[in-house]
Amino acid sequence: MTLEAIKYKSGQLQILDQLLLPTESKYIPVAGVKDGWSAIHKMQVRGAPAIAIVGCLSLVVEIYDKQYETKAALATEIGEHLQYLVTSRPTAVNLKLAADDVKGQVESLLANETVAVDGMKQEVIKAIEYMLEKDISDNRAIGDNGANVLVKGVDRPLKLLTHCNTGSLATAGYGTALGVIRSVNQRNLLGLYIEITRNKHSICNPHILTIPEHVYCTETRPYNQGARLTAYELVHDKLPATLVTDSMVAALLSSRKIDAIIVGADRVAANGDTANKIGTYQMAVVAKHHGVPFYVAAPFTSIDVAIED
């Protein structure tokens, strides 16, 4: 069972405070838009997909129990809240795109004379709540598609490297790049993480003993998302993993048979250029030097077609 970083039900929102991980697992309430903005800005929630979902869900919490006299009043409040939320993390295109989608829906509902104010509010809430469900579905599709590429023609355990955090803590669930790794693991191509009971004379189940060095994650300075969050997720899911310092990547690729590097993306330009956490570029350069395939796993919501390159 993967981690649940976002808990939402019927206008109630809680998030796992990622600034406290891995030493403390604490869920904090998000009581409205101001809390949502603060959580995103302080990086209590991070990861482009998760930022968009938490931001929009904080809007749902804000308007959930309020009554509005007119559709125009509701539309104005929603627009102001969305404009404010986008300023919490300007580099995260997912939040801006999600906000634009909500604004577009609001404008359409505002123009539809057959929709009353309460119906308009419920339609907006329903659409935002669906974002949570859809993100998990999209992530599983990314995981399956990525795994299909990585395991094609392979009948042995893979050694994979990832950077930053792109798992359940960065999304609504499952993850993007880390979701690919999870999907590979489900096909038994990462090896098994098994607790072996030892005694003086034997090892239980020796035929399934495996070396747990198949996933490598970088610490990802200066915020240490890899050391604090990705390693936390890998241990939680009992995936065979080793944490390495950022400066060890070149040595790792030269001394170990790394089959592929998979990273996420903060933003992807129209031509495929990718912006991601610091350290990603040097990993790509070193990967090319050593002939290691380098993949970016991201949803369509991370693509900004307005930016050419």
- Tell me the three state secondary structure of residue 5: coil
Work out the number of other CB atoms within 10 angstroms of the CB of residue 125: 18
What's the CA gap between 165 and 162, in Å, rounded? 8
What's the CA gap between 260 and 231, in Å, rounded? 18
Question: What was the pLDDT predicted at 142?
Answer: 98
What's the CA gap between 44 and 105, in Å, rounded? 29
Tell me the DSSP string of 52-114.
HHHHHHHHHHHHTT---S-HHHHHHHHHHHHHHHHTT-TT-HHHHHHHHHHHHHHHHHHH-TT
Question: What was the pLDDT predicted at 194?
Answer: 40
Domain 146-304 is of which CATH architecture? 3-Layer(aba) Sandwich (3.40)
Q: Spell out the domain ranges in the chain.
A: 6-137, 146-304
Q: What end-to-end distance do the CA atoms of the chain give, in Å?
A: 38
* DSSP one-letter code for 7: E
What's the CA gap between 64 and 10, in Å, rounded? 8
What is the Cα 224 distance to its own chain's centre? 16
Question: What was the pLDDT predicted at 210?
Answer: 29
Q: What is the pLDDT along the chain (309 residues), one digit of tens a residue?
A: 668 999 999 999 999 999 999 999 999 999 999 999 999 999 999 988 999 999 999 999 999 999 999 999 999 999 999 999 999 998 778 999 999 999 999 999 999 999 999 999 999 999 999 999 999 999 999 999 999 999 888 878 899 999 999 999 999 999 999 999 999 998 877 765 443 333 433 333 333 332 234 899 999 999 999 999 999 999 999 999 999 999 999 999 999 889 999 999 989 999 999 999 999 999 999 999 999 999 999 999 889 899 999
Residue whose token pair is 């390693």? 231
- The candidate with the shortest Cα–Cα distance to 40, out of 125, 98, 102, is 98
- The candidate with the shortest Cα–Cα distance to 40, out of 52, 23, 25, is 52
The residues carrying an active-site annotation are: 266
**Statement: 6-137 belongs to CATH 1.20.120.420:** yes
Helix or strand (DSSP H, E) at 295: strand 294-296
Question: What was the pLDDT predicted at 108?
Answer: 98
Question: What was the pLDDT predicted at 198?
Answer: 36
In which order are the strands placed within the sheet that holds 6-9? 6-9, 12-16, 27-29
The half-sphere exposure of 165 on its side-chain side, counting CA atoms within 13 A, is 31
Q: Say if pTM beats, i.e. exceeds, 0.75.
A: yes
Helix or strand (DSSP H, E) at 275: strand 274-275
**Token representation of residue 169:** 């803590």
